[in-house]
Amino acid sequence: MSAITLTPKALYEEVAEQLRQRIFRRELEPGSWIDELKIAEEFGISRTPLREALKVLAAEGLVTMKVRRGAYVTEMSEKDLRDVYHLLSLLESDAAGVVAECATPEQQQTLRDLHAELESAAGNREAFFSVNERFHMALLDMADNRWRSQMVADLRKVMKLNRHNSLFKQGRIEDSLSEHRAILDAMLSRDPEGTRRAMQAHFAQGLQAAT
């Protein structure tokens, strides 16, 4: 089997994903300076694909480029957090309402199964984060609006800059599960307005816990 040669585009996208995951794992903390020379040496690449990768992350909001100072991991202000939650609430409640009205029995079962996984993951914060995101993204896929899905995916990347804070609060995972039950119950009852309200309440409580 012949070796695969990465194109420059594939290389910078791969570097962007590596840095993205380091940011999400807090190996690169919000507010920290990104040492381009050190990272380029570590990855065994020139600074050109690294800088292209940083542009991708800057477009996603994960990195902030400062004139003559380089790239920094974005710090989320309270206003930033409120703005992100506001938009997610609008977009995801709209999607949830669509799913409540139009979901097939198979799609409803998928959501039941994901919720069961979420209940089982309550004792493991990292697993809970992962299943929670899969539940929300499954809703978006079912609502079938690729523009909304892309906007939410980008906003959720930024939200991960603050992702641990809300669930550190005592009882937040249990509250989140209760909110998810309300969303699922309204959705399975084919109640679009009730589903939208439940999703909006979920984001409102999440914001309150995160600030």
Range 107-110, long-range pairs (CB < 8 A, 24+ positions): 107/142, 108/187, 108/188, 110/138
Q: Indicate the CATH number for domain 8-73.
A: 1.10.10.10
- Per DSSP, what are the bridge partners of residue 72? 33, 64
CATH 1.20.120.530 spans which residues of the chain? Answer: 78-210
Distance CA 38, CA 81 (A): 31
Nearest to 58 by CA among 98, 12, 89, 10: 12
Name the pTM for this structure.
0.81
Residue-level pLDDT, tens digit, the chain, 211 residues: 455 555 556 888 999 999 999 998 889 999 999 999 999 999 999 999 999 999 999 999 999 999 888 999 999 888 999 999 999 999 999 999 999 999 999 999 999 999 999 999 998 888 998 999 999 999 999 999 999 999 999 999 888 887 655 555 778 889 999 999 999 999 999 999 999 999 999 999 999 888 7
| Class (C level, CATH) for 78-210 | mainly alpha
Distance CA 49, CA 15 (A): 8
Structure-block tokens of residue 37: 């020379």
CATH 1.10.10.10 spans which residues of the chain? Answer: 8-73
Contact between 105 and 167 under an 8 Å Cβ cutoff? The reply is: no
